[in-house]
């Protein structure tokens, strides 16, 4: 069950990356802060790949692997754009709940594109955990507009599509163990995304690019944490279906609620406690199904 440990590590590292990026947003803008994870994450991935090449043969990506990686890279960038639109139109709780529908769409897309099994027990666990996220978010849905809801669900679906692209690229590699496959696809994907974001910033937002350069220390930390988190996400994708990985990742919602209650002294409502319980039950159910 290496994928379980890899997913938990990835979720924790992603929390650190988000914290680093949050501080950058006020100084370089949302697009600039988003670009940091790719521009400053790429050098760390390339260095790790170069070190690995000293001991093992790196699996050469073929056109199929490159195509899947490109799909994942583009979907992730598009998902980020829809996520930002959702957050502008709704509260953070509503936006988070909408985007966390990702495991459901991911499981459906995985069944269609990668022909991964979608049994009733596995789908039931995913749905239960997703409902738990919606309840635990504490979101108020009375003022939720149609377009923000559409944008949020679209963001979740695109994040799911990106995970399918990454897993497809990993599976398409002709050789190598799970670590080498994950590292190779990570480097390839980050190279595509860094190039795309750099072109966009030079063309449309040079002020953000200058801000990133001035704040290079924080950007470097965010990039390192982002590359580290992505590597472990990809390790998880190399070992099991993307839907399993992203459903297990929902457990971070429980950790965040516990942290906000104990450290920030925020009140947790009974419906949120119910939601956290459903997440735990759903994740436990998923692990039991995956272990068969």
Output the CA torsion 138→144→150→155 (10° steps): -40
Per the structure, the count of domains in the chain is 1
Who contacts 120 (Cβ-Cβ below 8 Å, separation ≥6)? Answer: none
Output the CA torsion 37→239→120→255 (10° steps): -50
Lowest mean pLDDT among 3-12, 65-74, 139-148, 273-282: 139-148
> Per-residue pLDDT for 8 more than 80?
yes
pTM of the predicted model as reported, rounded to 2 decimal places: 0.86
Who contacts 203 (Cβ-Cβ below 8 Å, separation ≥6)? Answer: none
Its sign, for the CA torsion 157, 159, 162, 163, is negative
Q: Which helix (H) or strand (E) holds 133?
A: helix 120-136
Its sign, for the CA torsion 170, 171, 176, 177, is positive
Confidence of residue 107 (pLDDT cuts 50, 70, 90): confident
Q: Which two tokens stand for residue 13?
A: 């590292």
Supply the pLDDT for residue 264: 46
> Per-residue pLDDT for 269 more than 80?
no
129 closest CA partner among 286, 287, 282 = 282
> Per-residue pLDDT for 160 more than 80?
yes
Q: Give the residue numbers spanning the domain of 244.
A: 2-290
Q: Which two tokens stand for residue 255?
A: 């950790």
Q: What is the rounded CA–CA span in Å between residue 134 and residue 272?
A: 9
């Amino acid at each position: 069950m290496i994928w379980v440990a890899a997913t938990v590590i990835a979720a924790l590292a992603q929390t650190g990356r988000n914290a680093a990026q949050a501080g950058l947003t006020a100084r370089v803008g949302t697009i600039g802060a988003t670009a940091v994870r790719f521009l400053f994450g790429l050098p760390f991935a390339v260095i790790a790949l170069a070190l690995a090449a000293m001991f093992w043969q790196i699996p050469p990506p073929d056109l199929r692997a490159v195509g899947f990686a490109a799909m994942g890279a583009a979907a992730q960038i598009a998902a980020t754009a829809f996520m930002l639109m959702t957050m502008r139109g709704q509260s953070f709780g509503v936006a988070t709940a909408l985007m966390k529908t990702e495991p459901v769409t991911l499981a459906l897309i995985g069944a269609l594109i990668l022909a991964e099994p979608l049994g009733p027990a596995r789908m039931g666990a995913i749905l239960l955990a997703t409902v738990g996220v919606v309840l635990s978010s504490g979101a108020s849905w009375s003022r939720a507009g149609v377009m923000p809801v559409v944008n949020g669900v679209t963001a979740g679906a695109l994040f799911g599509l990106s995970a399918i692209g990454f897993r497809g690229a990993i599976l398409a590699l002709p050789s190598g163990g799970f670590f080498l496959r994950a590292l190779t696809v990570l480097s390839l994907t980050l190279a595509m995304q860094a190039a795309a974001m750099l072109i966009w910033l030079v063309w449309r937002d040079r002020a953000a690019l200058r801000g990133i350069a001035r704040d290079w220390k924080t950007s470097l930390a965010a990039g390192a944490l982002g590359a580290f988190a992505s590597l472990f996400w990809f390790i998880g994708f190399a070992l099991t279906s993307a839907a399993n990985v992203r459903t297990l990742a929902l457990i971070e919602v429980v950790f965040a609620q516990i942290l906000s209650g104990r450290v920030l002294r925020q009140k947790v409502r009974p419906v949120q406690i119910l939601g956290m319980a459903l997440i735990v039950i759903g994740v436990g159910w998923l692990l039991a199904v995956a272990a068969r």
